[in-house]
Structure 1
Amino acid sequence: MWTLAEFNGLEAPTARAELLACCASPEWADAVGEARPFESLDRLLDFSDRAYAELDADQIDLAVKAHPEIGTRAEERDTESAWSRGEQSAAQSSDQRVKGELAEANAEYREKFGQVFLICATGLDSETILAEAKRRLRNGAAEEAAETASELRKIVQLRVGKLVTE
C-alpha cells in the first residue's frame, strides 16, 4: 500500500489509522507511528515486533476483538476487512461438514474463552484450522492466552509487511 518512504512521510493521524488496520491496539499503533522514520522495512518489522511484545493483556484483547470469527467473511470495505478476507480465503471451505464443525468449535471457543478463536490463517486450509481450534479448546486459559497472543503477533507482522513495501 505504501512504500517505506511514503509511510515515513505520512501525517501522524494517517499513519496511526493505517497502523490500526495492522493491529487494533492504540498503544502499538502510536508506538510504531512515533518511531518513524525507519531506515528499512526490516527495521520497521523489528520495531513492530518489539512494540507488540510490550503490549499488556488488555491491549491484546482489544486487538483480538477487532478480528472476525474464523470461517466467516468480513463484509466491511476497510483495509483490515480486506486483509482478513484474504488471510481467511483458504478457510472458506465449501465442505458443509467442515463449515458446521468450525461454527461449533467457534461457539464452544467463545463460550470457554470469551473471545473469537484467532489463528494466523494465511496458507492454512479449513481442515487444519478446524483441527487447531479443536486442539486449542483443550487449553487452559493461560495457555490459550499465550497462543492467541502468538497468533496475533504473526498476523500483525504479516499485515505490516502488506502495509509497507521497500
Structure 2
Amino acid sequence: MSDALSTAAAHLDGLPEAEVEAALTRCCGASRWVAAMLARRPFGDGPRLLDAAEQAWAALERADILEAFDHHPRIGANLDALRDKFRATANWSASEQSTVAAADEATLVRLRDGNLAYEARFGYIFIVCATGKSAAQMLTLLEQRLTHDPAQELAIAAAEQAKITRLRLEKLAP
C-alpha cells in the first residue's frame, strides 16, 4: 500500500463533504461511485480508501462505467487537438499521457484514426491507463483492443478505468 494513499485518506477525511465530492469526481466521474465513496467516509487509512474505491467500482453498472469514461477527454477530433492534448499541462490526464508528446507524426495520425475507429465500434472512448506507456505502446494496445468483442472490451476498459482511479486517488495526497 502506498504512503500516498494513506496520506490521501487522511486528507479526504479532514475536508468538508463538498470538497471531498469534488476531489473524488476528479478521480472518477461516475456519480454513483462518488456517492458510494462519500457514504464510506471516514476512510481512516490507505487500505480502507482503496478497499472502498474497489467495492464502489465493482458495484457499478454499465451506464455508470460509461459515465466515468465520459469524464476523460476525447482523442481524435483532429491532429491539432491531439498534439495539444499531449503537450505538458497541469492537468492529470496530460501527465498520465505525457509520453505521447514525443510521438512522431505517423503515430499521432494512427492514434487519432484508431481512437475514432474505437469510438465508432464500441460507442465510448478508448480508455487505457497510460502512465508509463509510450505512444507506440498505447497504439499497439488500441489496435489489439479493436479486435475484441464488445463485452470483453468493456470489461478491459473498466479495469483500465479502475487503475486510473487508483492513481488519481494517490494524487489527492497534499
Q: Normalising by structure 2, report the TM-score.
A: 0.85
Q: CA deviation at 1:147?
A: 0.7
Against the structure 1 CA distance between its residues 128 and 94, is the aligned structure 2 distance closer, same or farther, given a 3 Å change threshold? closer
Q: Helix, strand or coil for the counterpart of 1:21?
A: helix
Counterpart for residue 147 of structure 1: 156
Q: CA RMSD in A?
A: 2.1
Deviation at 1:47, TM superposition (A): 1.2
* Aligned residue in 2 for 1:50: 55
CA shift, 1:3, in A, is: 4.7
Amino acid in the other structure paired with 1:28: W
Q: Hey, which bits of structure 1, 4+ residues long, moved more than 4 A?
A: none
Residues 9 and 45 in structure 2, CA contact (< 8 A), matched pair in contact too: yes
**Secondary structure at the residue paired with 2:29?**
coil
Alignment map for 1:1-166 (pairs within 5 Å)? 3-70=8-75, 72=82, 73=85, 82-164=91-173
**Aligned AA for 1:164?**
A
Q: Answer yes or no: is the 8 Å Cα contact 1:41–1:164 preserved in 2.
A: no
Aligned-pair identity (%): 34
Number of residue equivalences: 161
Unaligned ranges ≥5, structure 2: 77-81
User: Structure 1 residues 54, 74: CA separation in 2 closer, same or farther (over 3 Å shift)?
Assistant: farther
Instruction: Specify every segment of 5 or more residues in structure 1 that has no aligned partner in the other structure, as ranges.
Output: none
The answer to whether the Cα contact below 8 Å between 2:30 and 2:65 also exists between their aligned partners in 1 is yes
What TM-score does the superposition give when structure 1 sets the normalisation length? 0.89
